[in-house]
Structure formats: C-alpha cells, structure tokens
Amino acid sequence: MIPYGTQSIDQNDIDAVVAALQSDFLTQGPVLPRFESALAERVEARFAVAVNSATSALHLSCLALGLGEGDWLWTSPNTFVASANVGKLCGAKVDFVDIDLDTGLMSMDALEQKLVQANKDSRMPKIVMPVHFAGQSCDMQRLHQLGQQYGFYIIEDASHAIGASYLGRPVGACQFSDVTVFSFHPVKILTTGEGGVATSNQPGLVETMRLLRSHGVTRDRSQMTEPVDETPWGYQQVMLGLNYRMTELQAALGLSQLSKLEDFVQFRRQRVTHYQKKLSCLPVQSIVEHGQGRSAWHLFTLLFDDPGLRTSVFSRLRGKGVGVNVHYIPVHTQPFYRQFGFDWGDFPQAEDWYRRTLTLPLHPKLTFSQQQWVVDCLEEALA
Ligand SMILES: *Cc1c(COP(=O)(O)O)cnc(C)c1O
C-alpha cells in the first residue's frame, strides 16, 4: 500500500538519535533548548516551546491564555479532533466556524457573521483557533483584524504547515496571532516520532507554557511565589501543570529533520505540480493555493462533484494498493460532540467537503513511478 503520508529518516537522523541516546541526558538536557532556538529562528518567532505532541502544545496554549469554564473556543470543523478537544480539556465550551470549499480553510465571512451574532448574544469566543488545512495559511490578516475588533485570542493550529509562508513571512512568526502550533507526528512535514511545538513572541505566555509543561514546578527564584528558603535543593510548585516534556532523543531527531525542511517542502511542491498537470484533464477539482503565501503541502486533496463517485473511487484505489484517505470527518458530527447538541446540517460546507473530498498520497518517499501509478489508477477509476 502506498500510504497517503509517511516519514523520511536518513542516516543523519539516525546518528543524531544515537548520539542523544549515548549522552548523559535522555530528557531535560541540552539538545531540547537547541532545537527550540533553531526552530524559533527558522519560523522567525522569538520563542519556541517543544512538547510531546501538538495536542499538548495546543492544550498548553489554551491553558496559558486562561481558557476555562464559561469560556468559548471556536475552531474549524474540518480538522483533526484534537483542535476542538483541547478546549473541552480546559473545561471550556467549543463551537465551530464553517469553511470555504475551494481551500478547506475556515471562512472569514462565516466567522464575521458568527461574531456579529455572538456579540448580540454575549457568547463571544475567548480563543479562535484557525487550522491551516493541508499546509496553507488561513487569511490571518483578516482574522487578526476581527480579533482586534472583537477581542479574542488567536492560536494557529499549523500542525500541517511548518515550512509554509504567509504574506512573505514563515507561518509560526505569529505576526497575526498569539501562538502557533506545529505537529511532528510521522505523517506531518517533519517528525520527532511524537512531538509538537508552540511558537510565540510573548515572553509571559511562553514562561507559563514552560512551567505548565513540567508540573508547574520551578527552580527559578524569580518565578517563586513564596519566600524562598535558603536550601539549595528548593523548588516550588506555583501552578497545576502536566508532564508534556519532549525527550532528548526526540529533540535530536527534530533538530536533524529541521535542517531538511526546505528540501521536504520543495519535494512536495514538485509532486503537487506533477499531480496538477496530470489531473487537469480529469473531471475533478484539486485544492487551490490562494496566493497569499506558500503552502507546505502536507496534503493533496481532490474535490469531486458527486459524493458517490468519490466513494467508489476511494474503494477502487484502495483495492489497487493506493492508500487514499479522507480529511476530515467534520468534528461536530463525532458522537462525542453530538452529545453537546451538534448534528449533521450545522456546518453544511464542511459536511459537503467531507462527502466530496479525497486525499491522494503525498510524502517525501513517493517515487515518480509510484505517483504515475496513482494517476493511472485514478484515470482508470474515472473512465
Ligand atoms: C496531527 C494534528 C493534530 C495533533 O497532532 P499530534 O502531534 O498528533 O498531537 C492537531 N491538529 C491537526 C490539524 C492535526 O493534523
């Protein structure tokens, strides 16, 4: 089976992990801060906080922004469940904003309409979390303007989008947001096995996220909230935290992978250009780049006119060993979310997208002949 996504690990990656394994520290050592600095520099952010998953990074971001009971978090229904779940984990209420069908991204028109209504009903969101679906940034400038006007925080779920750019700057620079989160799960653009990172330009937020990452415990006297006893072994727990730390093995892998980011994105772009050329004469649309920046192309998705045809093409391609997939089942239709009153029909664009979309294989090990096979199978299924 040709998977829709998979990692690429070379000898440098392996050597980096082995060196970390043979070093004095398997966790809480010197490689993690090096990885964080390199990553922050690459995406032009002041700070990076690396953790054990993007889900953890999203959770820490929400906690650090004070999301809690009685608050609302709004996100896209066209995402992995984690984007919404972190709101529930903070005890907040979660709602969704419908998408645009040409990009699969949160619709800024739908957001504005929903904000006008929420303002009347006093149900304003504390945090809006756009999702950079398939590796392409949302319209962050407009989102930021709405954030200024209505007073909400912005966390970018950029799990798909490391290596992307927006209006001439890397996604992750947080020019129009409070925090940006990337995922290093193996199907994403870079991998640390499991892992994620939050970037931000706000020192206070970053300090809180670092504390929360490690039990809310500090040895730094300036962070202590009570008089410090003079014992050299003293530490204080100043808030309720978690253990979301990233290991040195993961950080070493991340540092090595980061050096190949540009190559990975270029490779994906080449493959996408080839798909676009080959598919231009077939009766399917493919996802478009909106022109405000460069997509990192985590996913290459198609949109069929006919949902029935989508489903039969899915089965025929799977039957030939082509690991097509569907991104995403709208989060509000999941059984867990339906118990809060959501149902089919609530976000029609996201549901239409779900019924008509198909993700083709796109990853750093996809060979030219494999890609040709995918195209041949697709042509045959559509003939
Ligand atoms: C993968 C993904 C996540 C979760 O990332 P993990 O690192 O697996 O926790 C969150 N949001 C989106 C959009 C994702 O694709």
**Spans of all domains in the chain:** 11-258, 261-382
How far is 184 from 194, CA to CA, in rounded Å?
A: 6
Q: 86 CA distance to ligand 1 centroid (A)?
A: 11
Task: Describe the strand order of the beta sheet including 169-170 as a list of residue ranges.
Answer: 169-170, 165-166, 293-294
- Spacing, Cα 158 to ligand 1 middle (Å): 9
Tell me, what's the pLDDT at 180?
Answer: 99
Per-residue model confidence (pLDDT) at position 319: 97
Q: What is the full per-residue pLDDT of the chain (383 aa) written as tens digits?
A: 999 999 999 999 999 999 999 999 999 999 999 999 999 999 999 999 999 999 999 999 999 999 999 999 999 999 999 999 999 999 999 999 999 999 999 999 999 999 999 999 999 999 999 999 999 999 999 999 999 999 999 999 999 999 999 999 999 999 999 999 999 999 999 999 999 999 999 999 999 999 999 999 998 888 998 887 767 778 999 999 999 999 999 999 999 999 999 999 999 999 999 999 999 989 899 998 988 999 999 999 999 999 999 999 999 999 999 999 999 999 999 999 999 999 999 999 999 999 999 999 999 999 999 999 999 999 999 98
Q: 11-258 has which CATH code?
A: 3.40.640.10
CA-CA distance, 153 to 207, in Å (whole number)? 17
Contact in structure between 152 and 127 (CB atoms under 8 Å): yes
pLDDT number for residue 276 = 96
pLDDT score for 186: 98
Q: What is the pTM of this model?
A: 0.98
Any residues with Cβ below 6 Å from ligand 1, and which?
Answer: 53-55, 79-80, 82-83, 131, 157, 159-160, 183, 185, 196
pLDDT at res. 228: 75
Closest CA to 289 of 146, 107, 166, 163: 166
Using the mean position of ligand 1's atoms as its centre, give its distance from the Cα of residue 189 in Å: 12
Centre of ligand 1 to C-alpha 122, Å, is 31
CA dihedral (349, 327, 103, 154) positive or negative = positive
pLDDT at 234: 82
The residue to mutate among 56, 61, 99, 185, having the most atoms of ligand 1 within 8 angstroms of its beta carbon, is 185
pLDDT of residue 226: 84
CA distances from 62 to 65, 180, 244, 383 (A): 5, 11, 14, 48
Residue burial 146-164, b: 16+ Cβ < 10 Å; e: rest: bbeebebbbbbbbbbbbbb
Per-residue confidence (pLDDT) for residue 141, from 0 to 100: 98
Sheet hosting strand 300-303, strand order edge to edge: 285-286, 300-303, 357-360
Check residue 225 and give its pLDDT.
Answer: 87
Question: Which of 83, 129, 250 is the best mutation target for the ligand 1 pocket, counting ligand atoms within 8 Å of the beta carbon and taking the most?
Answer: 83
How many angstroms is it from 82 CA to the middle of ligand 1? 6
Hey, what CATH topology would domain 261-382 get? Aspartate Aminotransferase, domain 1 (3.90.1150)
